[in-house]
Amino acid sequence: MALLKGTIKSALKLLLLVPLVLLVLWVNYFVDQTGLFRGDKFNLELAQILLEGDPVSNFEKMDEREVLKLYIKNMPEAYNTVVIGSSRGLQITAAIAGESGSFYNMGMSGEDFYDIASTISLLDKYDRMPQNMIIVLDPWILNDMPESYSSRSDSNLANSFLNQTLGFDVPYQEEDKTVYNEALLDLDYFQKNIAYYFEDHTGEERPSRVIGDVYLQKTETKMPDGTLLYTEEYRNMDQEWVDREALTRVNAGYALGMYDFYELNQMRCEQFEAIVDYVLDKGVSVTFVLSPIHPIYYEHLASSECARGVLLAEEFYGDVARQRGIAVFGSYDPEKANCTNADFYDGLHVRRESISKFFYGINASLV
């Protein structure tokens, strides 16, 4: 009898602890001051605003790659069409793509090979593969020089996908999930989260929902469809400034991995083809887009032996497309893409209204 009473008392004590344990778990997960479980608060809030369908300003603090991870993780369902690529594809809207259903542009500035692999791996992981995928292909994706990679890309996530899913022998670090389990019940973290919860956060920098006409904002605007809207001033720069900006890029010798690019990296070519084949095997319809380069800049690249890889990359993408029946639109050569100096915001980015000169939409036939 005494043993039974002792067992009951112990059980009651444990039951009394359950609400406390649940409180610790809830606070540590949802308050999460360091962003361990749910992501950095600034990036999470920005992703949530976009998911709610509102444009965002004041996002200079944004980590584009982290925002996209959080966005994909919290997408309610797969979209009909997505765009993957660098800022050179961030002007492609649903209307330009010829998509009347759900659409999101997942491009990001300076996107490299790792970013493409990472984005596709996340879409696959969360079962959010689209019906149509538009991949805006830059030359530097097939270069392996340090300048062709962004310091912001997640090489480990990309290599994990290449290794575990596609079977390439590339090194990656397994994520240590024990740190999450330990932090959930960490009383010290609980105390810090409680203190953080009751602090005054009114002075903290936060992304802002756009108020008023999005086309008249003083800062760049991240649109609900993922596209980037430049400021009115930047959209309306005179042609002299645009041409001078392109010439500055030539003189600076900086080209995002388009110089010291004598040949294509064969390993990257093989991995790129494997990624494309994997997406196709998932039943996704793929479209390639090659965005042209400003005539002044392109002329210099095309005539530079050290930038020969730019021309080789276009040939390679064309071969990959033909072998798989993929439509490929555009060219790095502005003349082939039906573009002149007047079709550019600067040396690398085509004006939104000019994209239709070379990209006719996912349902169009090549002419």
Q: What is the pLDDT of residues 228-247, one digit of tens each?
A: 999 999 999 999 999 999 99
- Residues 57-79 pLDDT 10s: 888 878 999 999 999 999 999 99
- What are 255's two structure tokens? 């080209």
What local confidence, expressed as pLDDT, does residue 355 receive? Answer: 98
Domain 31-357 has CATH 3.40.50.1110: yes
- Segment 143-149 mean pLDDT: 88
What local confidence, expressed as pLDDT, does residue 23 receive? Answer: 59
- What are 151's two structure tokens? 């310091």
- Residues 179-218 pLDDT 10s: 555 555 555 555 555 655 566 556 567 788 998 888 888 8
- Segment 47-64 mean pLDDT: 90
What local confidence, expressed as pLDDT, does residue 195 receive? Answer: 55
Domain ranges of the chain: 31-357
Among residues 299, 222, 298, 307, which one has the least CA distance to residue 258?
A: 307
Most confident of 115-129, 148-162, 213-227: 115-129
Find out whether 131 and 103 touch, Cβ atoms under 8 Å.
no
Find out whether 191 and 103 touch, Cβ atoms under 8 Å.
no
- Residues 94-135 pLDDT 10s: 999 999 999 999 999 999 999 999 999 999 999 999 999 999
Length of the chain: 367
The answer, yes or no, to whether residue 253 has pLDDT greater than 90, is no
Please give the mean pLDDT across all residues of the chain.
Answer: 86
How far apart, in whole angstroms, are the C-alpha atoms of residue 167 and residue 161?
9
Q: How far are the Cα atoms of 52, 59, 98, 166, 294 from residue 49, in angstroms, in the given order? A: 5, 12, 25, 34, 34
- Segment 319-347 mean pLDDT: 98
